[in-house]
Amino acid sequence: MTDKIDYVEFPSTNRGLTSAFFRAAFGWGIVSYGPDYDGLDNAGIDGGIDQAANKVAATMAIVRTDDLDGAERRVLAAGGTITKAQFDFPGGRRFHFREPGGNEMAVWTARE
């Protein structure tokens, strides 16, 4: 699967409360990845709860690709603006962008 939304990230001012809410309201499992990030389990789509100081301001859809550099070129050619340059994270590499209508999104690829 490439160039498909496969992850959604929820910003939170209190990761513990947000995780507890999702668990109680919907029965989703929670996987802790440290003091600032929890992953969602069995939520229908992979996702996470981000409490880091530099988190995005709104819920963000994340697209998975097999060609991160190519996806970045396509985003720019289509009128997107890079908001966070490519960076490594434990699962792979990603960048953030804003599409012309204002939504911030990200594109990621798994580590090879």
Beta bridge partners of 61: 8
Instruction: Print the domain residue range for 43.
Output: 1-64
**DSSP letter string, 53-96:** TT--SS-EEEEE-S-HHHHHHHHHHTT-EEEEEEEEETTEEEEE
Residues 56 and 86 reside in one and the same domain = no
User: What's the pLDDT at 87?
Assistant: 96
User: What's the pLDDT at 90?
Assistant: 87
Global confidence as pTM: 0.86
Q: What is the largest CA-CA distance in the chain?
A: 43
Say if residues 61 and 8 touch (Cβ distance below 8 Å).
Answer: yes
User: What's the pLDDT at 112?
Assistant: 72
SS3 100: coil
Residues 2 and 28 reside in one and the same domain = yes
Token pair, residue 75, equals 């985003």
Say if residues 80 and 98 touch (Cβ distance below 8 Å).
Answer: yes
Can you state the percent helix, strand and coil of the chain, rounding each to 5? 20, 45, 35
Residues of the chain with pLDDT under 70: 1
Residues 59 and 29 reside in one and the same domain = yes
Residue 11 included in any domain:
yes
User: What's the pLDDT at 2?
Assistant: 84
User: What's the pLDDT at 67?
Assistant: 95
Measure CA of the first residue to CA of the last residue in the chain; give whole Å: 15
Residue 109 included in any domain:
no
Tell me: the pLDDT tens digits for 24-53? 999 999 999 999 999 999 999 999 999 999
User: What's the pLDDT at 111?
Assistant: 85
